Amino acid sequence: MATDSRTWFYTTPEPRPYFIEERVNHTLWRNRLQGLSMTCTHYTTPIKLEGIWNGMTVEFEFQPGKWFILRAGREVKELIGVMRQILFIRPAFAYTDANGLFCVEWHTDSGAERFRELQGNPVYQGLKRLKKD
């Protein structure tokens, strides 16, 4: 099965966990992340998947066509770079959340509203913008 982000991010996928997992996993594997396998934990918007990669927790949360959040146990530039290629857009910003996970967010708009929301909340640490508006 040849899939890419157009089948699960830029188009709303069918609300069936297995189909979402299959599309996301095949996209990851085709883009050099063979060791990462995601399990769908919430199949309606926002869609959530979780997995383990090299012993580290990895979570995806997204609203198709709008935004995508990658959460991981630490910052891994390889993972961020591959997700940038998969989503066809540059990440908007990064921070550490209340659970200590490193988060990177992609937005199809500028993400300015979300950035202001995070900026005013002390549970998000080290917030930095990664692309210009």
* Per-domain boundaries in the chain: 5-129
**Spatial distance between the Cα atoms of 70 and 51, rounded to a whole number of angstroms:** 11
Task: For residue 2, give the amino acid letter.
Answer: A
The predicted structure's pLDDT at residue 120 = 86
For β-strands 67-72 and 93-96, DSSP reports them as unpaired
Question: In sequence order, what are the beta bridge partners of 37?
Answer: 52
Task: Check pLDDT > 60 for residue 77.
Answer: yes
34-48 tens-digit pLDDT = 899 999 999 999 999
Q: Are 106 and 91 a contacting pair, CB within 8 Å?
A: yes
Average pLDDT over residues 48-62: 97
pTM, full prediction: 0.95
Task: Check pLDDT > 90 for residue 2.
Answer: no
| Tokens describing residue 115 | 């950035």
